[in-house]
Structure 1
């Protein structure tokens, strides 16, 4: 297992890529389904502002910035867990095994988000997006985890 500082560094990169790619998917899916690129990210701020946040379509510091910061921190949390517990697999530098590990980590994150987490701490974008869009968002998240792990271990 890598040292804690290395795990935190790697997790920050993998988690940041997962955050950026999934936020792009949130914006695209939100625009298609609600007419607003901000709606799905705003909904994440329901952690602080309640379900009213899910009804906001405009960009604002209160909803958009807070929603993205929560989303990004959550992605970095999952990135650190991914880098810590899948390190042996990731260190093999094989695309297929890295993608499989990222898919597994993403499935665990999704299960945790919707089956183990109280409503107030769920992502929130499920209040604005369809299930197919959620699949795209989590798929983008997994691609970000895998891309970060592969980039960190490039030769």
Structure 2
């Protein structure tokens, strides 16, 4: 039970890093595409509001808060699986943590855009081209790796 709680706390750290980093990346990529910086976040609320959520350019409670909350929860979910993987293995060097983070992000991308129903995708595809979505999943990998390394150091200190 203690290790599951520790994994949950580690996932909160890693998932928050992933959520912040990918949200920033999405905003920058959207601006490069001539879209509103919040459109990818708003698009994530499509599970509740439908496809028109992607056309909302400005921040609002209905789309931005729901979209970001959904994205943050998803980030913590993927981080939990990643941290569970790391916890089940002996401590590893940073390069191997990064390799595992790349694999986890690839699995998340394949799941989000290959296996789940369209209503449950991140919704970014309604705003951004595939290359921007791929870049966002690469940022996810970096965030997972950073979180994994931070958590490794926190465990070492305690």
TM interval, short-chain normalised: over 0.9
The root-mean-square deviation of aligned C-alpha atoms, in Å, is: 1.6
| SS of alignment partner, residue 59 of structure 2 | coil
| SS of alignment partner, residue 141 of structure 2 | helix
Contact 2:46–2:54 under 8 Å retained in 1: yes
Runs of 5+ unmatched residues, structure 2: none
| SS of alignment partner, residue 128 of structure 2 | coil
- State how far apart, in whole Å, the 2-side matches of 1:65 and 1:91 are: 37
Pairing of 1:83-98 with structure 2 (within 5 A): 83-89=83-89, 91-92=91-92, 94-98=93-97
| 1:7 matched residue in structure 2 | 7
State the TM-score, normalizing by the size of structure 2.
0.92
State the TM-score, normalizing by the size of structure 1.
0.94
- State how far apart, in whole Å, the 2-side matches of 1:17 and 1:26 are: 14
| 1:113 matched residue in structure 2 | 112
Between Structure 1 and Structure 2, how many residues are aligned? Answer: 154
- State how far apart, in whole Å, the 2-side matches of 1:86 and 1:116 are: 24
| 1:135 matched residue in structure 2 | 134
